[in-house]
Amino acid sequence: MNFKDRCSVLAVCSLDTCTGRELFSGILDEMSNTSHWALSAVRPGTYFTSKELVNEFGKTYDGFILSMPGTDEVMEKVVKSRIPTVLANITDRRLSARCNAIANVWTDNADIGRRAAKHLIERGDYKSAGFVHERDDQYLPKDFLFYSIERMMAFRQTMKRDGGCETSVFPDKTSPAPLSPKDFFEQLRTWIRALPKPAAVMAASDMCAADVINACKAECIPVPSQVSVIGVDYDISQHAKCGMSISSVIPNLRMMGRQVVKELDFLFKHPKWKGRPHEVLIPAKDVFAGESTARSVPATHLVNIALEFISANCTKDLTPSDVIAHLGCSRRLAELRFSQVSHTTIHKAISNARLNEVQRRIRHGESVSNIVKAMHFASAKQLYQMYKRHFGHTTRQPDI
């Protein structure tokens, strides 16, 4: 295919989920740098058939973005075609066998599993760990839930190495599949009941995490004091389903969408490319600390954790929100504990730590201009004013 001024592209995406919407948003974001595209979109599954391989003018599309599969017939045609195609998180043996005009962009599921384990380990000591897969769906291809397995393997390895816990998996290989929603929930309750407590549980998604939390509630097991739960996707809609905010690893689906566009644009511009199919891994974006993994520790210990964090980061432009995110508890509880134990506020504790560091640096002969730059103060005037209010004298006067 010769490179054209305007390429017609078909994107196969589901907008039913937050992850699908984020991916599509990334595609649209990056397309602002790719003015020669005419983009069409279609839903996956039975909505993506051979009829959708041509545009409204009856012409074959110049390129495909596939984030979910379609019917067997249309997937076979995509495999046999030489049309530039980028796959986003799709595993299909037929597509994997194709080696021309194709690229793969993957979520780094191992990174997601590791981050979930590290988040839990930072928040407590556990007697056991668990991983809950997505409920098997008879309408999905057998290999569609590969991401759940990849997340589980990395989670299990990290929990054993860094947390000293073996990981129990649900459903396991002995469970009948597919399970009905009712059977899945009842067996999940039994599995959670048997976990030695306190337990750290990762779910393959926030939807699954909400099921875990509801199963704990049905068993009268408190979350997070007895079972800490973390999911994936940062899907806020799931919070209402279980009555609390769910800690979650946030995949960078928007970055993935942008990368998908870059890969297809490369294929358009290099029609004679003979190299190996390009594969790109997109690491997780962040971890949201919700109520489902909040620390349950004595007041003094909670404040000490916060003060250590403030001391280690006092050169940064630190905010109370940064400290609360590190603690993994509510703002109200954090401020209450500071008031009870330190008779101060988090904001004041940050200010005290920063100004004590300023004083230390001045005593060692560092200039105010360097301190302003190194510690991210807005200006020297701001630093002078804060210093005088705190110590009762200016930076030029000796300490009393």
Pick the closest to residue 28 from 276, 260, 288 (CA basis): 260
Amino acid at 317: D
pLDDT of residue 176: 60
pLDDT of residue 1: 42
The CA distance from 126 to 389, in Å, is 45
Q: Answer whether residue 274 shows pLDDT above 90.
A: no
Pick the closest to residue 194 from 213, 221, 176 (CA basis): 221
pTM beyond 0.75: the answer is no
Q: Residue 172 in contact with residue 98, Cβ under 8 Å?
A: no
Between 44 and 91, where is the model more confident? 44
Mean pLDDT of the chain: 87
Give the pairing type, strands 167-170 and 128-132: parallel
The CA distance from 393 to 355, in Å, is 13
pLDDT tens, 275-320?
666 789 999 999 998 989 986 566 787 888 899 999 999 999 899 9
Number of helical H runs and strand E runs in the chain: 15, 12
Percent of the chain residues past pLDDT 90, beyond the cut: 51
pLDDT of residue 143: 53
Q: Answer whether residue 139 shows pLDDT above 80.
A: no
Q: How far is CA 152 from CA 146, 253, 304, in A?
A: 10, 20, 33
pLDDT of residue 353: 93
The CA distance from 18 to 237, in Å, is 9
Give the pairing type, strands 199-203 and 227-232: parallel
The CA distance from 168 to 171, in Å, is 9
Give the N- to C-terminal CA distance of the chain in Å, as an integer: 79
pLDDT tens, 113-135?
999 999 998 887 889 999 999 87
Question: Quick one: average pLDDT of 375-400?
Answer: 83
pLDDT of residue 174: 66
Q: Where are the beta strands (DSSP E) in the chain?
A: 7-12, 37-42, 63-66, 85-88, 102-107, 128-132, 167-170, 199-203, 227-232, 247-250, 278-282, 286-288
User: 184-191: long-range contacts at Cβ-Cβ below 8 A with a sequence spacing of 24 or more?
Assistant: 184/135, 184/211, 185/211, 185/214, 185/215, 188/132, 188/212, 188/215, 189/215, 189/218, 189/219, 191/130
Q: How far is CA 247 from CA 200, 202, 228, 239, 340, in A?
A: 12, 10, 9, 10, 27
pLDDT tens, 327-377?
877 788 788 888 888 889 999 999 999 999 999 998 888 898 999 999 989
